[in-house]
Amino acid sequence: MAENGKRPIRLGMVGGGTGAFIGYVHRIASRLDGDYQLVAGALSSRPEVARESGKNLGLAEDRIYTDFAEMARAEAAREDGIEAVSIVTPNHMHFAPAKAFLEAGIHVICDKPLTATLEDARALRAVKPKNDAKFLLTHNYTGYPLIRQARELVASGALGKIRVVQMEYAQDWLAVEADADNKQASWRTDPARSGAGGAIGDIGTHAYNLARYVTGLKTEAVSADLTAFVPGRKLDDNVHIMLRFEGGAKGMLWASQVAVGKENGLQLRIYGEKAGIEWQQENPNYMWYTEFGKPRQLLTRGGAIDAPPAASMGIRIPTGHPEGYLEAFATLYSQFAAVIRGEGQDFEALLPTLDDGVEGVEFIVASVESSKNDSRWTKLGA
């Protein structure tokens, strides 16, 4: 049973077989609060890996699939078929499985970015899900408690009218040419599997989504400079983007996978007329809040401060005990489980949606187009 006494939701997975980092993360996130039980999977496009991975995870032999379309048909026809599916494949393999499972009436949990192309993203949004099947996009950083609090602070007017938004996500793991045997690097640097964006699609979309999630500001246009520093690399590994938001706020985004010395440097800084906030993902249980003319205040996860309800923030343990990446991921899974059960009305507005996914791909496409045209200002969705 789940921690809340509910029956676990029967879960399937597409992708995420042996050696896949993000599939492992999704499985942990789904199990943390006991809300899901993995019972079926098409875990690899390679049949032998799919079968071996399913066996290693203890799946019943007749529920280990070598094709996602077969899995969607078979599971939809079973009385005990899966109720939700996690799609944890490379970007170019998000669209077809998501469409197949939505049309089969199975809820979809999909890793970001939504799809490899804008055409596919818009086509997925046009799908009519059977039985009102729901969709979750796993922009997992939106599950951090202090990100939820930052969103609440902005919405309450505590910062005043937003003027400046600065986002960055810096890593160094692709600072040299990737080893051909590096599975995680090979598809991310391949346009056929990653899509039009490299670093911008892999991590830049996280920074962008986080800013949009917290501020609620709508983007008008971007001016982007995308670079591939590593010789021979076909996709960007460093990104500088200026953003114009409706209402006059300005934004700056830096995403890099060649910033030597950086590990997972996701940061968000927001400055309004009355106050500012600063948050770093590598130490996510702390956030600086500063009112103009007053000393800085250090806000802590679950600390003695006015905050949204603990349930919406996803707080599980007392303040001072660190919560991080896996717990934030699990918060999305747990709250989506409540939505699936028809009990998550308070959570639906907090969870990243298919529309957020379409905008993320629009952001990538507009930025790539801008960079190709000498950083010309380019509107999203044009």
Please name the amino acid found at residue 162.
I
pTM of the entire predicted model: 0.95
Mean pLDDT of the residues in the chain: 95
The structural domains of the chain, with segments of one domain joined by +, span: 9-133, 145-318+354-372
Give the separation between CA 369 and CA 206, rounded to whole angstroms. Answer: 19
In tens, the pLDDT along 326-354 reads: 999 999 999 999 999 999 888 999 999 99
Burial of 251 (0-12, 13-18, 19+ CB in 10 A): buried
Please give the CATH superfamily to which domain 145-318+354-372 belongs. Dihydrodipicolinate Reductase; domain 2 (3.30.360.10)
Give the separation between CA 286 and CA 289, rounded to whole angstroms. Answer: 10
Taking alpha carbons only, the member of 330, 381, 353 closest to residue 213 is: 353
Give the separation between CA 325 and CA 143, rounded to whole angstroms. Answer: 9
The pLDDT, as a whole number, for residue 307 is: 57
Give the separation between CA 29 and CA 141, rounded to whole angstroms. Answer: 13
pLDDT band at 305, cuts 50/70/90? Answer: low
- Tokens of residue 80, six digits: 């005990």
In tens, the pLDDT along 176-223 reads: 997 667 878 888 988 899 988 999 999 999 999 999 999 999 999 999
The values of phi and psi at residue 76, to 5°, are -65, -25
- 307 or 111, higher pLDDT: 111
- Tokens of residue 66, six digits: 């070598």
Q: Write out the CATH class of domain 9-133.
A: alpha beta
